Structure 1
């Protein structure tokens, strides 16, 4: 009994350590060199087999890989994806699902029902895995290229990438027509003529933006923006974009891992 109590206390201490006074995202905006080639990969969402197959096909060092976030949820192997990315030192920006996983890990003992079932995989994360997720920045700017990687997008007429809020950078889809502020889906449904996709009014002021968080629109390869959410977890593809050449490649999902919701 004493041993069981001690082990429980040790486990609780480890999870408490994982959520110390540090910010959830340690360094919010980073700049890295842009090796040639450099492949940016769309949403993995727990699809480890597809990620491994795509990396095998690309046949480059993991130093030449950046992910667009949402490593976890929906697919079958969320914890394993985090561990794989950490061990292989794969760079990624933070996605809303990654941040949600950290939030629900912290409060796991208070969860119940479907929410607890959804996040039970977080109990497989090591302290090092948690540290990795916490370390993911909101944006990665490529030194030597006029290009930045974010999870969902930016407010088009904002002063700088850094001035964008964490919420906007991980969830934005719609904005006001003047590009000055994000618009929620609920507000957009009430005033459809006043909301547009952020990419439609983005003027390129921060260079090319590579993003995801829009599976309904799928691959969006434009002059100033590239959207890479091609719905691998929904039976679609896991897509990679090579930033120097503009090459696009990918692998098909092994199966439908998750049914699409109306929000997707």
Structure 2
């Protein structure tokens, strides 16, 4: 049933260490799921790719979508912070709109850096870090690690305790629910391994993966994209068991729209686009569309 690249016997069956204070899975409250039928309510789901502190672009995208807070629900697919000009503003907007956010590798880095700083009895609400920049450490941009580089620790100070506490409540996996032909919709930051239960997915890989080889995920670019393996796997399943993943993380691949996966990190930070999948109910099924806005280069130099 599975392709040569998917060997569920090799991955996901062993016990994994518990990730302390990490929410592995959250189910989206049923009240946010768009209704179908003649007398349906007009509520929509708006799922947005990597924002990276680009608040102005996020506001512009929501305006283009015609987002209404009391009607629609916003889901952010991780990496809402870091690298861009206004991480604090993005977090505040997400909180104001009561958005659901999944934990990306950059949220994870900041949370780990904050935990390390607290272990050192640092005041997270005090102004900027007192340490010198460590450029060798700063080069480790993609992988989550416990100490955090200078920029991470600086951002921890900017965000402060309450925003960090809020980010810690963001799940690694958001199970949206069954939406017609899309099957069960799941939102993650980076990816999922097909054939492995959500509860047994490795959270680090869910936030970082790009490829799969012999059933094992990797954050390396060399190899077969996990989404290709995922789509092949879904086609072998009965229709009622199929699942669609909406994800971000991989701006180099850009927009990746396939039958059972939608990659929507379209490089807003680097002057690309900010993308949203808008899901709404129809007469008999759910339908979705892509909405994008152009972004200015927001990288801090």
TM-score clears 0.5: yes
Deviation at 1:184, TM superposition (A): 4.5
Deviation at 1:40, TM superposition (A): 0.6
Q: 1:167-189, CA deviations, whole angstroms, 9 ceiling, x for partnerless residues?
A: 1100010111x4x2113528x4x
Q: What is the number of residues matched between the two proteins?
A: 226
**Mapping 1:248-263, distance limit 5 Å:** 248-253=290-295, 255-258=296-299
Task: Give the TM-score taking structure 2 as reference length.
Answer: 0.69
Partners in 1 of 2:199 and 2:261 — Cα distance? Answer: 18
Among 150, 158, 161, the residue aligned to 2:188: 150
Q: Confirm or deny: 8 A CA contact 2:85 2:299 kept in the other structure.
A: no
Give 1:127's aligned residue.
161
**Mapping 1:42-191, distance limit 5 Å:** 42-62=49-69, 63-108=72-117, 112-113=132-133, 114=135, 115-145=149-179, 146-158=184-196, 160-176=197-213, 178=214, 180-185=215-220, 188=222
Partners in 2 of 1:206 and 1:153 — Cα distance? Answer: 16
Q: Does 1:216 align with 2:252?
A: yes
Aligned-residue Cα RMSD (Å) equals: 2.2
Q: Confirm or deny: 8 A CA contact 2:190 2:247 kept in the other structure.
A: yes
Q: Confirm or deny: 8 A CA contact 1:148 1:206 kept in the other structure.
A: no
Partners in 2 of 1:53 and 1:24 — Cα distance? Answer: 34
Q: Does 1:201 align with 2:199?
A: no
Task: Give the TM-score taking structure 1 as reference length.
Answer: 0.78
Partners in 1 of 2:172 and 2:62 — Cα distance? Answer: 23
Give 1:29's aligned residue.
25
Q: 1:93-112, CA deviations, whole angstroms, 9 ceiling, x for partnerless residues?
A: 10000110112233356854
Q: Confirm or deny: 8 A CA contact 1:147 1:206 kept in the other structure.
A: no
Q: 1:59-78, CA deviations, whole angstroms, 9 ceiling, x for partnerless residues?
A: 22345210100011111011
Deviation at 1:249, TM superposition (A): 0.6
Q: For residue 276 of structure 2, give the secondary structure of its aligned residue in structure 1.
A: strand
Which stretches of structure 1, 4 residues or more, deviate above 6 A after TM superposition?
Answer: none
Partners in 2 of 1:242 and 1:103 — Cα distance? Answer: 32
Q: Which has the higher contact order (CA 8 A, sep 6+)?
A: 2
Partners in 1 of 2:266 and 2:66 — Cα distance? Answer: 21
Q: 1:111 to 1:201 in 2, by over 3 A?
A: farther
Give 1:19's aligned residue.
none
Q: 1:227 to 1:237 in 2, by over 3 A?
A: same
Q: 1:246 to 1:72 in 2, by over 3 A?
A: same
Which structure 2 segments of 5+ residues have no match?
Answer: 1-18, 35-42, 123-129, 136-148, 235-240, 280-285
